[in-house]
Amino acid sequence: MTQIKIEELGLRPELQRAIGELEYTELTPIQEKCIPEIRQGKDVVGQSSTGSGKTVAFGLPIIEKIVHGNGVQTLVLTPTRELCVQVTDALNHLGKYMHIKAASVYGGAGIEPQIQAIKKADIVVGTPGRIIDHIRRRTISFVNVKILVLDEADRMLDMGFIRDVEFIIGNVPRHRQTLLFSATIPQEVHRVIERYLKSPVFMKTEIHVAKHLLRQVYYEVQPEEKFSLLVHLLKERPDGMSIIFCSTRREADVVGRNLLKQGIRCMTIHGGIAQNKRLASIDALKSSRINALVATDVAARGLDIRNVTHIYNYDVPKTSEEYVHRVGRTARAGMEGDAVTLLTRNDHDNFRSVLRNRSLEIEKAEKPKFEIVRFVREGRFGRDDGYDRRQHGGGRPRGMFHRKSSGRFPGGSRFSRRRR
């Protein structure tokens, strides 16, 4: 199937000029499906994976419909501050030659500058909590809102924002166009669609990994080996750009701190870190001031982090969907990438759940020889407890090399989904 060229859309010259600067020439599948329907004023549900171009899919037709200076005409709800800023930046770029202004509204930042930005905005992009703050302060008006966008809806509801989202929807005019974009459509998202969208058109693109570009492997390791193997792999590929996923904020902090002690240029990002530091971490990765980002799943969805060469599952995700969203950060735009999972005995149940997706081809890799390095956890009062024997199994000496793994999962079976 031939992709539609952007020039075939018949965009206004100002909009064509702006998108031309992004060096886009063809529409992605989700853009190709959604843009014509949104242009016709239909409610649309767009389902596609991270990095598929959803912001442009709703941004182009929205900006075409806006009249600058008529107040806030579009409200975009996002689950995280990072995605809020990213979407705002994208919309401001697309609308700059038409003088369309988008304003970011999120918590953890001063509210007064946001109040001033809203007064000049044609589009407001915000997180639910801060949008509600403005509603209650009467510092935002939705009287002229014609389009409501729920971006990354599954993530937003999964984070517990359902009541906030419904409250906000209740303050937006009923006669509007509603667009919902989501990587998955669980039951809670279905209920929102049924209640708030009018005869929506469903547009879906396949959520998958690019098998020809993405090398997926796992290493079977003992708990006391896991951090040391991660350090070895990172130092073996110093020129790559990596995201290391941990299951909890605490673990991300500990891993990030220890990687810095090993000379790895990294920063940590999760929901408990101050907004300015989170944005600084993403900017540092984009500008190559660091080459590793330690993250919880907040970084797996929606964020525009390009040229990532390696994904490390330091902790194994619980589902195949979470796995796909994580590894979808690499092997994009025709570039190759690696997805590496570090599998300990505590991760077997999660890994079986991931492998229920028969399309995934995750091969066992032979464990290399590597040096055991120091791993430190802080005690309750912030003091250094030294080598953590709870994490590292009570004590192989530093510098010891390990024998190669037998490559077998307990019970003699192997983890591999490649079918001959």
Residues 56-103: pLDDT tens digits?
A: 999 999 999 999 999 999 999 999 888 899 999 999 999 999 999 999
Nearest to 230 by CA among 60, 346, 373: 373
> What backbone torsions phi and psi does residue 179 show, to the nearest 5 degrees?
-120, 130
Question: What is the distance between the alpha carbons of residues 228 and 41, in angstroms, rounded to a whole number?
Answer: 55
| Tally of residues, the chain | 420
Give the pLDDT band of residue 28 (cuts 50, 70, 90). confident
Alpha carbon 390 to chain centroid, angstroms: 31
The 10 Å Cβ neighbour count of residue 282 is 20
Indicate the domain borders of the chain. 6-204, 214-392
Question: What is the distance between the alpha carbons of residues 254 and 146, in angstroms, rounded to a whole number?
Answer: 46
Q: Top-level CATH class of 214-392?
A: alpha beta
For 350-400, the pLDDT digits (tens) are 999 999 988 899 999 999 999 999 999 874 434 443 334 444 443 343 333
For 184-214, the pLDDT digits (tens) are 888 999 999 999 999 999 998 866 566 788 9
Q: Please, are residues 140 and 124 in contact by the beta-carbon 8 Å criterion?
A: yes
Mean pLDDT for 406-412 is 41
In this predicted structure, what is the pLDDT of residue 322? 87
Nearest to 301 by CA among 78, 35, 103: 78
Longest distance between any two alpha carbons in the chain, whole Å:
69
**How many Cα neighbours within 13 Å face the side chain of 398?**
7
Q: Please, are residues 209 and 360 in contact by the beta-carbon 8 Å criterion?
A: yes
Question: What is the distance between the alpha carbons of residues 385 and 379, in angstroms, rounded to a whole number?
Answer: 6
Average pLDDT, the chain: 86
In this predicted structure, what is the pLDDT of residue 207? 60
In this predicted structure, what is the pLDDT of residue 304? 66
Strands 376-378 and 384-387 turn out to be antiparallel
- The CATH architecture assigned to 6-204 reads 3-Layer(aba) Sandwich (3.40)
For 411, left (φ over 0), alpha (ψ -120 to 50), or beta? left
Q: Is it true that 6-204 and 214-392 share their CATH fold?
A: yes
